[in-house]
Amino acid sequence: MKRIYDSAALERTDDDPFAPERSGGDDGGSRAIDWAAFSHAFAPTVVRHRAIDVSISTDKRRYAPGEPVEITVEFRNRIPFPVRIRTDSPERWHWAVDGHRNASQVPRAVPDRPAAFSFARNECKRFRRRWPQRVQVADDEWEPVDPGSYAIDVRVTRDDASDRGLAARTAIEIVD
């Protein structure tokens, strides 16, 4: 009986391939895999783009003039493995009101170098923005908008975001 206990025959770490190694030896048994890089290399571009669900919503559909609009943007990876999408800029996504990026007519100096928007498996990234019903017309000047209907959209920073399903839109109304 003593031989069984001394031989460690009752330890069953080999039966479970997902159990961590308990030995302190450097036998090369534990390997780290960068799953995001793996899925980026082996998942087709079409699959990666279709995996990301983009949505935008507001707290209400109708607003009084001057009432802030609460915007919620969600990017959700719908598949059970990591996904990485290339973007045209380090600013991975942006929102716009009637085509005015970030509700501004003032161009921003963002470098034109590619980056990546990475998602863990089944990850949901949620962002909140507040639009005070004003459009920036100069670095230090904002003008209020008139009552009417406005389209608020969000997109991943790519030229082909709409074609690839990486954009969403909602509409609000400002009424007197």
pLDDT, one tens digit per residue, over 88-141 is: 989 999 999 999 998 998 887 777 789 989 999 899 999 999 999 999 999 889
In a domain, 4, yes or no: no
pLDDT at site 36: 66
148's CB contacts (< 8 A; 6+ apart) are 173, 174
pLDDT one-digit tens code per residue, 21-71: 554 444 444 567 776 677 767 778 888 889 999 999 999 999 999 999 999
Contact 56, 169 (CB under 8 A): yes
In a domain, 8, yes or no: no
Q: Where are the beta strands (DSSP E) in 37-133?
A: 52-58, 62-63, 69-77, 83-87, 93-97, 100-101, 115-119, 124-131
Query: DSSP assignment, residue 6?
Result: H
In a domain, 27, yes or no: no
Residue 45 belongs to what domain range? 34-174
In the chain, the amino acid numbered 95 is W
Q: Whole-angstrom Cα distance, residue 156 to residue 168? A: 10
pTM score, whole prediction = 0.75
Taking 80 as the threshold, does the pLDDT of residue 13 lie above it? no
In a domain, 55, yes or no: yes
Q: Whole-angstrom Cα distance, residue 95 to residue 19? A: 44
- Residues belonging to the chain: 176
In a domain, 162, yes or no: yes
Q: List the single range of 107-116, 137-146, 148-157 with lowest mean pLDDT.
A: 107-116
The enclosing domain of 99 has a CATH number of: 2.60.40.2360
In a domain, 13, yes or no: no
Taking 90 as the threshold, does the pLDDT of residue 1 lie above it? no
In a domain, 20, yes or no: no
Query: What is the total count of domains within the chain?
Result: 1
Contact 124, 74 (CB under 8 A): yes
pLDDT at site 130: 96
Taking 80 as the threshold, does the pLDDT of residue 8 lie above it? no
In a domain, 57, yes or no: yes
Q: Which residue has the higher pLDDT, 165 or 22?
A: 165
pLDDT at site 4: 55
Q: Which residue has the higher pLDDT, 151 or 176?
A: 151
